[in-house]
């Protein structure tokens, strides 16, 4: 059973296509001087309508189509011979009226395609990689930085695929990040990062030194290191991407070593 959202989306798209198609017939008929008796979206019975000039505008109960009714378009009906009837026009003028429906649909497709291409679409740079990549965070450690701050380092290994190609990505080479979330005794949080810019092949490992924390070593009670927090690498399980340390850190000799 289709969800209501799917049915509404289908109805909206179909309505736009029908409206643009019938609008093409309507505008072409007006342009060559044909009297339009009715312009309707949806099939009969008509549930809502109003008249403006010679034309009745309506909405039908069955939203599966639409139509433009023009004066003198049916050869089996009695004609008056007036110049504003469909069959009173030349073959070229009638052809314009008939062809403008499909032409408007083609123009709509061109316009929408141009808008999509102009705005762009997010395409994963690793969509051609194996489904079961595995980025493993092997270890983390801390060293004393300048001015009493702490520097975190992390060792990351690729167990699954050649995941980081040299591809342009927003002005940089293809890359993933490693993040450290530092929590202080007062509940403050600080996040620092390091970025791996070069290819990391299968089995390859790299040690990344993150930016210095902005929290003094003596205030730190917890550090969580996350490999690829942006989920760039196609690692569906992500069961070995995090390491955590908790404890009391000595300001002069900060230690947070954790091995997997």
Its pTM stands at 0.47
The more confidently predicted of residues 147 and 17 is: 17
Report, as an integer, the average pLDDT of 26-40: 93
- pLDDT on residue 75: 80
* One domain, residues 164 and 196: yes
**How many C-beta atoms lie closer than 10 Å to residue 84's C-beta?**
17
Confidence class of residue 36 from pLDDT cuts 50, 70 and 90?
very high
Report, as an integer, the average pLDDT of 196-219: 78
Kindly state the DSSP code that residue 20 receives in the 8-state scheme. H
* Structural domain ending residue among the three candidates 91, 119, 147: 119
**pLDDT tens sequence across 67-108:** 999 998 888 777 787 888 998 899 999 999 999 999 999 999
Phi, psi of 191 (to 5 degrees): -120, 130
The more confidently predicted of residues 128 and 19 is: 19
**pLDDT tens sequence across 139-197:** 999 988 877 789 999 998 877 654 444 333 333 334 678 899 999 999 999 999 888 76
* One domain, residues 165 and 102: no
- Pick from 192, 199, 128, 127: nearest CA to 158: 199
Q: What is the rounded CA–CA span in Å between residue 90 and residue 26?
A: 17
* Pair of tokens at residue 25: 């017939």
Cα distances from 141 to residues 11, 121, 218, in angstroms, run 58, 39, 16
Q: Domain of residue 153: give its range.
A: 135-259
Q: Which residues pair with 218 in a beta bridge?
A: none
Q: What is the rounded CA–CA span in Å between residue 40 and residue 24?
A: 13
Q: What is the rounded CA–CA span in Å between residue 211 and residue 151?
A: 7
* Structural domain ending residue among the three candidates 119, 151, 175: 119
Confidence class of residue 31 from pLDDT cuts 50, 70 and 90?
very high
* One domain, residues 149 and 103: no
* One domain, residues 26 and 103: yes
* Mean pLDDT for the chain overall: 82
* Pair of tokens at residue 107: 């123009």
* Whole-number percent of the chain with pLDDT over 70: 83
């Amino acid at each position: 059973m289709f969800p209501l959202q799917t049915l509404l989306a289908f109805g909206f798209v179909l309505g736009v296509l029908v409206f643009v198609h019938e609008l093409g017939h309507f505008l072409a008929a007006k342009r060559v001087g044909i009297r339009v008796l009715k312009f309707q979206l949806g099939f009969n019975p008509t549930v809502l309508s109003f008249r403006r000039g010679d034309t009745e505008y309506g909405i039908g109960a069955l939203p599966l189509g639409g139509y433009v009714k023009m004066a003198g378009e049916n050869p089996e009906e009695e004609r008056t011979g007036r110049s504003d009837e469909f069959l009173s026009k030349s073959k070229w003028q009638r052809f314009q009226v008939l062809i403008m429906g499909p032409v408007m649909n083609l123009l709509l497709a061109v316009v929408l395609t141009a808008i999509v291409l102009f705005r762009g679409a997010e395409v994963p740079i690793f969509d051609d990689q194996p489904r079961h990549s595995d980025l493993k965070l092997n270890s983390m450690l801390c060293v004393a930085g300048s001015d009493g701050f702490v520097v975190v380092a992390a060792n990351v290994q690729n167990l699954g695929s050649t995941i980081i190609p040299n591809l342009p990505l927003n002005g940089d080479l293809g890359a993933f990040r490693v993040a450290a979330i530092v929590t202080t005794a007062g509940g403050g949080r600080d996040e620092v990062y390091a970025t791996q810019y070069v290819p990391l092949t299968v089995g390859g490992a790299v040690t990344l030194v993150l930016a210095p924390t902005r929290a003094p070593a003596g205030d730190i009670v917890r550090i969580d290191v996350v490999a690829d927090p942006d989920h760039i690498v196609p690692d569906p399980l992500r069961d070995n991407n995090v390491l955590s340390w908790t404890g009391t850190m000595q300001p002069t000799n900060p230690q947070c070593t954790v091995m997997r």
